[in-house]
């Protein structure tokens, strides 16, 4: 069995290295009558396990859709609230540059509205920091209290009432609103943050680096009749999302 151990440590190489090694190993051991039927069963079982782990399109463990996503589980931190298609983030009333983020969530085909999709949004304040009050729990300690949750309605629509955030004090990143989505039958994953077309920090280089996960997050703000800034961010589920299967 010792010949098999390296393959367990390096599963990505296993199917390249193991078959010839293990076949010759089994052959020699059988010839020398040192291998019982039970041993052969065990070896074949290990090989099958390695094959499944390295060749299945859908891994058996861990987060799959969208790849690694630190903090994405914050989308589940809405407690016992009953989510609707609209949420108002804290401090909305206190700010002058009120902003309505809204849009439609579509299935992967880009046309069919997606109902029941949870969207989690969080952003910085006017100083460019994720503010906390000191009593936060979970991811609120990192994301701050300027956050909200919605669940899309039967037509895939959602709305967040908030205000326009500022860029980090370092001025290294454009102002942005983080977005994470969760479909009923999939794990949560992040999509391109909302950023603003007229942001001087949104350089050509940064624009070119966008993955456009869920579609582009770069928004040209308009102004509503009530003076609110309007940010329309439609979302196409699975678009440019690794390991996504509708
Ligand atoms: Fe951020």
* Spacing, Cα 50 to ligand 1 middle (Å): 39
Tell me, what's the pLDDT at 156? 98
What distance in angstroms lies between residue 239's CA and the mean position of ligand 1's atoms?
A: 21
pLDDT, tens digit, 9 for 90 and up, residues 35-81: 677 766 776 666 665 555 554 544 444 558 999 999 999 999 999 99
Please indicate, yes or no, whether residues 83 and 38 belong to a single structural domain of this protein. no
**Residue 176 C-alpha to ligand 1 middle, in angstroms?**
6
d(CA 161, CA 70): 25
pLDDT at 35: 63
Same domain for 113 and 149? yes
Structure tokens at 57: 């399109």
Asked whether residue 200 carries a pLDDT value surpassing 60, the answer given is: yes
> Is 116 among the domain residues?
yes
Give the total residue count for the chain. Answer: 246
Distance 170 CA to ligand 1 centre (A): 12
Between the CA of 180 and the centroid of ligand 1 the distance, in Å, is: 12
Q: 178 forms bridges with which residues in the sheet?
A: 122
Confidence of residue 16 (pLDDT cuts 50, 70, 90): very low
Tokens 């967040």, residue located = 160
Tokens of 77: 């931190």
CA of 193 to the centre of ligand 1 (A): 9
In this structure, are 92 and 47 located in the same domain? Answer: no
Bridge-based pairing state of the strands 229-232 and 157-163: unpaired
Quick one: which H or E segment has residue 143? helix 140-143
Taking 50 as the threshold, does the pLDDT of residue 18 lie above it?
A: no
Question: DSSP character for 15?
Answer: H
Q: Are strands 229-232 and 222-223 parallel, antiparallel or unpaired?
A: antiparallel
pLDDT for 57 equals 45
Q: Are residues 47 and 78 in the same domain?
A: no
Residue 102, Cβ neighbours under 10 Å: how many?
A: 18
Interval between CA 178 and ligand 1 midpoint (Å) = 6
Nearest by Cα to 183 from 159, 214, 216: 214
Residue ranges making up the domain that contains 152: 72-236
Q: Is the same domain home to 108 and 213?
A: yes
Q: Is residue 241 part of a domain?
A: no
Q: Distance from the CA of 13 to the center of ligand 1, in angstroms?
A: 37
The answer to whether residue 8 scores a pLDDT higher than 50 is no
- The Cβ of residue 245 has, within 10 Å, a number of other Cβ atoms equal to 11
* Domain count along the chain: 2
Q: Which CATH number belongs to the domain containing residue 98 in this structure? A: 2.60.130.10
CB atoms within 10 A of CB 101: 26
In angstroms, what is the span from residue 122 Cα to ligand 1's centroid? 8
Query: Would you say residue 113 lies in a domain?
Result: yes
**pLDDT digit string (tens) for 76-109?**
999 999 999 999 999 999 999 999 999 999 999 9
How far, in Å, is the centroid of ligand 1 from the Cα of 123? Answer: 7
CA–centroid distance, residue 142 to ligand 1 (Å): 10
Whether 7 shows a pLDDT value over 50: the answer reads no
**What distance in angstroms lies between residue 1's CA and the mean position of ligand 1's atoms?**
49
Are residue 84 and residue 201 in the same domain, yes or no?
Answer: yes
Closest to 85 in 3D by CA, of 115, 58, 113: 115
Q: How far is the CA of 222 from the centre of ligand 1 (A)?
A: 23
Dump pLDDT digits (tens) for 138-193. Answer: 999 999 999 999 999 999 999 999 999 999 999 999 999 999 999 999 999 999 99
As a whole number, the mean pLDDT across the chain is: 86
Residue 8 makes CB contacts below 8 A (sequence gap 6+) with 14, 46, 50
Cα–Cα distance for residue pair 18/135, rounded to 1 Å: 53
Q: What is the pLDDT of residues 212-244, one digit of tens each?
A: 999 999 999 999 999 999 999 999 999 999 999
b/e sequence 159-187, b meaning 16+ C-beta within 10 Å? bbbbbbbbbbeeeebbbbbbbbbbbeebb
């Amino acid at each position: 069995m010792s010949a098999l151990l390296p393959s367990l440590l390096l599963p990505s190489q296993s199917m390249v290295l193991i078959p010839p090694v293990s076949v010759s190993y089994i052959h020699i051991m059988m010839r020398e009558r040192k291998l019982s039927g039970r041993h052969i069963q065990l070896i074949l079982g290990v090989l099958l396990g390695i094959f499944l782990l390295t060749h299945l399109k859908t891994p058996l463990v861990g987060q799959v859709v969208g790849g690694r996503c630190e903090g994405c589980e914050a989308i589940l931190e809405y407690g016992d609230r009953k989510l609707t298609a609209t949420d108002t983030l804290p401090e909305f009333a206190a700010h002058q540059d009120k902003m309505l983020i809204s849009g439609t969530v579509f299935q992967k085909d880009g046309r069919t509205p997606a109902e029941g999709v949870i969207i989690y949004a969080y952003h910085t304040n006017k100083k460019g920091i994720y503010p906390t009050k000191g009593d936060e729990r979970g991811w609120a300690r990192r994301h701050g209290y300027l956050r909200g949750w919605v669940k899309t309605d039967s037509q895939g629509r959602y709305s967040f009432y908030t205000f326009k955030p500022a860029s980090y004090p370092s001025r290294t990143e454009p102002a942005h609103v983080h977005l994470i989505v969760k479909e009923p039958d999939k794990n949560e994953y992040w999509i391109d943050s909302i950023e603003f077309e007229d942001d001087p920090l949104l350089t050509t280089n940064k624009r070119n680096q966008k993955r456009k996960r869920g579609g582009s997050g770069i928004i040209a703000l308009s102004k509503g009749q009530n003076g609110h800034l309007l940010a329309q961010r439609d979302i196409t589920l699975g678009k440019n999302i690794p390991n996504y299967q509708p």
